[in-house]
Amino acid sequence: MNRVWFAILVVVTTSLMGSSFAVGKIGLNYVSPLLLVGLRFTLAGVLMALWVWRKPLPASLRDWGKVLLIGFFQTACVMGCIFLSLRTIPASESSILTFMNPLLVVIWGTVFLGLRYRFSQWLGVVIGIAGVFVTLGFHLEWETGTLFGIGSAFAWSVATLLVKKWGERFNIWVMTAYQMLFGGLVLLLMGVTLETPRFELTPASVLIVLWLAIMASVVQFATWFALLQKGDPGRTSAFLFLAPFFGVLSGWLLLGEVIPWHTYAGGFCIFVGIFLVNWTFAKKGRGSKQLSAERGAS
């Protein structure tokens, strides 16, 4: 994949990730939280499963187990933790904690996959995380929901490495379909057992569910998984720092939220962090040898 297409796909997937917060916030006017996210991913999974039914399915029960495990972490745990965290902490704090995922990916990649990152790359991750804090206004308090927010970042980082390790065994669309379907069914179960389900059937609510299911789930997940398969997980995950930035922009466009000065400062830190994480990969000599070693380890 050339750099232009990589950049385009990064912008597409991170903008869909970020905008889903604003669209989802509008949707909460019509649908209870866990039911909304359960409907989103169950519908997305069903649509994808119908589309890919002729494509090669996982070859064994063990392979099916791997797909379901990815769905458990990527869809059920991440989204479940996010919505449970929103019961006691603001959405901005939940976003901060969730998008700490790239730092965890670098840590797990170093420990479990034998990937090696330079000091400048680690520095880029730290600066990127700082940029997320700055973008969202420095607000972070320790509440019960903080544990769920950390849990969402942990689950996402685990899913990222599972996709990197096992993703090439499966058709990308098949894996996307069934991991979303399984995770969505788990979330639906949570929606009818952990909260009082509510759904106001209106044209707006239907449109919101369809947008979240198709654009913010099917398109976004498939693009993200494809990017993970093509590149180093730590390097690719660094671009997740763009998602909360797009979330702020979509809040301004869709909800009329005012963008304060610290958003621009945080955005600058985010781009600096992404540059530092990716810059060493373009170097010759030692950097090229490092990249070859990382590809061999993966």
Contact between 87 and 162 (Cβ < 8 Å):
no
Contact between 211 and 254 (Cβ < 8 Å):
no
Q: Residue 294 pLDDT > 70, yes or no?
A: no
Compute the distance between CA of residue 77 and CA of residue 118 in angstroms, rounded to an integer.
Answer: 31
Q: How many CA atoms lie within 13 A of 222 on its CB side?
A: 17
pLDDT for residue 204 = 94
Report the pLDDT averaged over residues 251-264: 74
pLDDT for residue 130 = 83
Compute the distance between CA of residue 298 and CA of residue 105 in angstroms, rounded to an integer.
Answer: 14
Lowest mean pLDDT among 63-67, 93-97, 174-178, 239-243: 93-97
Q: What's the mean per-residue pLDDT of the chain? A: 80
Lowest mean pLDDT among 129-138, 174-183, 193-202: 129-138
Compute the distance between CA of residue 71 and CA of residue 196 in angstroms, rounded to an integer.
Answer: 25
DSSP annotation of 57 reads P
Report the pLDDT averaged over residues 29-50: 91
Q: Residue 162 pLDDT > 50, yes or no?
A: yes
More confident residue, 152 or 87: 152
Compute the distance between CA of residue 126 and CA of residue 273 in angstroms, rounded to an integer.
Answer: 7
pLDDT for residue 62 = 92
pLDDT for residue 278 = 66
More confident residue, 266 or 52: 52
Q: Can you say how many angstroms the Cα of residue 222 is from the centroid of all Cα atoms in its chain?
A: 11
Q: Residue 32: left if φ>0, alpha if ψ -120 to 50, beta else—which one?
A: beta
Q: Can you say how many angstroms the Cα of residue 272 is from the centroid of all Cα atoms in its chain?
A: 20
Closest by Cα among 35, 20, 49 to 187: 35
Contact between 135 and 128 (Cβ < 8 Å):
no
User: Facing residues of 199 across strands?
Assistant: 31
pLDDT for residue 110 = 79
Contact between 103 and 125 (Cβ < 8 Å):
yes
Q: Residue 81 pLDDT > 70, yes or no?
A: yes
Q: Residue 249 pLDDT > 60, yes or no?
A: yes
Helix (H) or strand (E) holding 211: helix 203-213
b/e per residue, 176-205, with b = 16+ CB within 10 A? bbbbbbbbbbbbbebbeebeeeeeeeeeeb
Question: CA 49 → CA 46, 141, 173, 284, distances in Å?
Answer: 5, 41, 9, 43
pLDDT for residue 205 = 94
For the ranges 80-89, 113-122, 213-222, 262-271, the one whose mean pLDDT is highest: 213-222
Q: Residue 237 pLDDT > 90, yes or no?
A: no
More confident residue, 63 or 267: 63
